[in-house]
Structure 1
């Protein structure tokens, strides 16, 4: 085993060496290949956003591959200074990961910034399987495996340290001179820096992956929020339902032409218009939903769920998704934990999260209970798999994860069916709350973010906030309450204003009659002073 590892590191896995390169020349050749093979989306973006007929635009377009090649050569050159044996394995790993990244860039128009890397870090096995398509294997074979096979035929011969050092220094000086000569390009590059940075491979996923990990995954302590008290002794149950990738534009409660919210409409809900998410990906949005203020830098206060549990509220978190922050709750359950003894199609979908919760509430001796359902909702790209077959209302549907190969109608049909199903799940939850005896009850439904369905050639979500379209930011925010102000009439009520994830924390506190120094009554959606 050790001998095999040594042969891999030395490039001697195959008995016959076809090409020999000194380290510096090998790095330059690989940097040129990397710039040519994996950056078509970057160059096409430049062509689309530049007047390529002008000399200045042509210089800007040429600057893009120069920067890609230079960055690659300098970085691998620095690796070679540490050990020449690391160069080939690094290039082989780069080829495979670049091929996968390029597939997602081409297929979904993703930008691999730190927010998109958050999606990658928090994608579970089922979500990853839903993204698979045989075309990914084509990319991996021709742009990953084949380059690796070629690299195995190459022997990288020893190069003296001073020559290895000279290469990145020379490339760096050349790049500085080019940058000076092409200074007119920098205003355009700066304008699109976020988008360009997310398309340069491997630096987009490597650097942004580290950035996300350092800011979100690395261990950290959460600060405790100030003590709280209750101004009401009312027995209370609150349901918080967190949707996934549900955009307000496709909700009939928000004016969509199709009837996608029949159940919530007849339940007598209150719809809050102009609600926006704080992010375009799940992990950051969940932080906001559970935070007492918009956590721009995410100061790492304890989340709402832990805060309530610490003050005697019985908290249950049930999830058919991923990306939840660390929390201290009474019950944390995944859909798979609830399927034991469950029979029927519904067990595998979001409605399975409701199973047994009514009995648990009835058996509880707690005065205040919060139940959170984190839905799979409208998570793409396999929208047609997110709902039971009986909810195939709009047809035909897109049945491929290669969304650009579906017609717009097929894609929207599949997506709208997920919204119809989510509406059903929320309606079932409201019916359950109506049937509870001895409790005052409330429900909040909010989506984590929206979704792109091909607008501007973008799909899914996670586009950097600064360039993300409105459909990834505008979300449904809907409440129901057992009090007469919300439920006597079966007509939907609409509240105009400006709302966001920041309302959720304070509305849950308000529903429980909970007060502390962090409570902001102006953000409480259940406030009796709020116009209806």
Structure 2
């Protein structure tokens, strides 16, 4: 074949690749518009065409910056592959892509990657990205001019693309504005512009909102009063647990029978700080609350630091993807890759592994700190999806059939719910086992607080998993369980009774209360404590 005869101009290759991206790459956008009833007539089709044209024109303008010898093809291949990956997950789980989702991707551990990568991804990549990427790589380009002439051509291409973008925007401004205003999720489906914007937003965030040096917090902390026995508080951090799927919160299925037999109180109106672990954990361990945390100009020490400043023994035990930097200044241990033949038989460890050898781990903490009190943090794998079936052992699979596919849309919705509810039944076992373990610690006055980091979508409105932008996320991704167990001795110590907490079960609480509530339970006195945000304070008996 005469490659010179069939050679294409760089601008032609750019326009062809960006047209593919703006049309085929945006199948998730067209699917969402169809689901919203916005593709039902000529006016709607014009709107969709304008969206495709605007998306394509912006991609052409951006790609003109990379239209140079040795750079153009790798750039276009990158765009195609990024769009193919984004397309798969937006179609498979109806997630959207923003900066928070990009942080989740960056912090995903190998076990979670294994639960998200399958043949469906490879198939989608093959037809949506790899085939056009191969054509781009093989396309013969004509001779490149000198850099000055190429710079002029690139500028003309960018100018023409931006002019076309402006023309389509003006022609369809009213319907576009109304659609985007009423359906904010659409802006996060423009592929791959959504991924590029999210990466740019993350990359420029330090310039727009610089985070200063770590600020000290609670250096004046001390434990109030003395008793014969020190307190021991276990903070169980749930993962992806929906409040509405706990039978102690009114769910029709008996998902939490073991915990229900204990003397517990459960808030039914508890709300998360974010819709992902990366967003929620740093926020809930901060003293600031969600709004102030998002607007902060400097990071500060967190709840664990303040507890340690008070002289308490603190330990983080992790069976998940890490502590998001919260535990780097305190003792911590990971159980992720333990070799227990029963609890770790499936290639990952079930959450009960965190209780194995826990007493020995406590005894290894400094004795002078243990004498003041102990705070243990157990970070669960919990109900992390989409591989829900891996999060519960056979004896806790009470509802069958359950979905075993990582592509949740391959399963009937009830099978997805079955698999998820089985994870809650296993979490119920882990929590009850933790309470039994605490009851067997005669040297301490014990308590447990269980709070999840965020919730989960299980197919409602064809939406799965979590991580939606907080402003448009459904309540099931933000409403979380908050369960408290206080031993009789701990109730006597603090003056907080379970009976009082039960009477307040319907009152709203949130992660904004978490920092101050834990300090209050441990009777830590510090200027960082805000009694108005201590969720347990209304039940604390007057001294």
Matched, 1:315 2:314: yes
Which has the higher mean CA deviation after the structures are superposed, 36-45 or 212-221?
Answer: 212-221
How far does residue 15 in structure 1 lie from its aligned partner after superposition? 11
TM-score (norm 2): 0.88
C-alpha contact (below 8 Å) 1:320/1:334 kept by paired residues: yes
Distance 2:38 2:183 in 1: 18
C-alpha contact (below 8 Å) 2:64/2:154 kept by paired residues: yes
TM-score (norm 1): 0.90
How far does residue 128 in structure 1 lie from its aligned partner after superposition? 0.5
Tell me what 1:10 maps to.
none
Tell me what 1:353 maps to.
354
Residues 129-155 of structure 1 show CA distances to partners (whole Å, capped at 9, x for unaligned) of 011221111112222222222122212
Residues 281-302 of structure 1 show CA distances to partners (whole Å, capped at 9, x for unaligned) of 1111001220112123244221
Tell me what 1:63 maps to.
50
Distance 1:336 1:52 in 2: 47
1:370 corresponds to which of 372, 375, 384: 375
Which has the higher mean CA deviation after the structures are superposed, 491-500 or 295-304?
Answer: 491-500
Instruction: Tell me: CA distance 1:220–1:335, structure 2 relative to 1, closer, same or farther (3 Å).
Output: farther
Structure 2 residue ranges without an equivalent (≥5): none
Tell me what 2:34 maps to.
47
Tell me what 2:225 maps to.
232
Distance 2:424 2:442 in 1: 30
How far does residue 36 in structure 1 lie from its aligned partner after superposition? 2.0
C-alpha contact (below 8 Å) 2:269/2:505 kept by paired residues: no
Tell me what 2:415 maps to.
410
How far does residue 198 in structure 1 lie from its aligned partner after superposition? 1.6
Distance 2:137 2:39 in 1: 39
Q: What is the correspondence of 1:479-518 to structure 2 with a 5 Å cutoff?
A: 479-483=484-488, 485=491, 495-518=505-528
Structure 1 residue ranges without an equivalent (≥5): 1-13
Distance 2:508 2:284 in 1: 16
Distance 1:71 1:52 in 2: 23
How far does residue 51 in structure 1 lie from its aligned partner after superposition? 4.6
Matched, 1:169 2:198: no
Instruction: Tell me: CA distance 1:188–1:324, structure 2 relative to 1, closer, same or farther (3 Å).
Output: farther
Distance 1:361 1:406 in 2: 43
Tell me what 2:333 maps to.
333
Describe the SS at the equivalent of 1:517: coil
C-alpha contact (below 8 Å) 1:384/1:414 kept by paired residues: yes
Which has the higher mean CA deviation after the structures are superposed, 478-487 or 158-167?
Answer: 478-487
Residues 393-414 of structure 1 show CA distances to partners (whole Å, capped at 9, x for unaligned) of 1111111111112112211111
Distance 2:261 2:165 in 1: 64
Distance 1:264 1:517 in 2: 35
Which has the higher mean CA deviation after the structures are superposed, 506-515 or 48-57?
Answer: 48-57
Tell me what 1:24 maps to.
11
Matched, 1:133 2:138: no
Matched, 1:208 2:198: yes
Aligned length: 513
Matched, 1:124 2:116: no
Matched, 1:278 2:265: no
Distance 1:494 1:134 in 2: 48
Describe the SS at the equivalent of 1:198: helix
Distance 1:181 1:243 in 2: 49
Describe the SS at the equivalent of 2:437: helix
How far does residue 55 in structure 1 lie from its aligned partner after superposition? 5.3
Residues 346-384 of structure 1 show CA distances to partners (whole Å, capped at 9, x for unaligned) of 672101011111233345412221111110100001101
Which has the higher mean CA deviation after the structures are superposed, 406-415 or 185-194?
Answer: 185-194
Describe the SS at the equivalent of 1:475: strand
Tell me what 1:9 maps to.
none
Tell me what 1:296 maps to.
294
C-alpha contact (below 8 Å) 1:113/1:194 kept by paired residues: no
Instruction: Tell me: CA distance 1:88–1:259, structure 2 relative to 1, closer, same or farther (3 Å).
Output: same
Matched, 1:96 2:81: yes
Distance 2:2 2:280 in 1: 53
Distance 2:139 2:30 in 1: 29
Describe the SS at the equivalent of 2:108: coil
**Cα RMSD for the two superposed structures:** 2.6
Describe the SS at the equivalent of 2:294: coil
Residues 390-449 of structure 1 show CA distances to partners (whole Å, capped at 9, x for unaligned) of 111111111111111211221111100000101111111111111112211121100111
How far does residue 97 in structure 1 lie from its aligned partner after superposition? 2.1
Instruction: Tell me: CA distance 1:345–1:324, structure 2 relative to 1, closer, same or farther (3 Å).
Output: closer
C-alpha contact (below 8 Å) 2:455/2:480 kept by paired residues: yes
Residues 485-518 of structure 1 show CA distances to partners (whole Å, capped at 9, x for unaligned) of 57888x9766221100122211211122112222
Matched, 1:524 2:525: no
Tell me what 1:442 maps to.
447
Which has the higher mean CA deviation after the structures are superposed, 155-164 or 501-510?
Answer: 155-164
Residues 36-77 of structure 1 show CA distances to partners (whole Å, capped at 9, x for unaligned) of 221111122233335545654443222110111111100001
Distance 2:160 2:317 in 1: 57
Distance 2:182 2:137 in 1: 38
Describe the SS at the equivalent of 1:116: helix
Tell me what 1:179 maps to.
169
Instruction: Tell me: CA distance 1:420–1:199, structure 2 relative to 1, closer, same or farther (3 Å).
Output: same
Distance 2:222 2:89 in 1: 49
Describe the SS at the equivalent of 2:377: strand
Instruction: Tell me: CA distance 1:401–1:15, structure 2 relative to 1, closer, same or farther (3 Å).
Output: farther
C-alpha contact (below 8 Å) 2:221/2:307 kept by paired residues: no
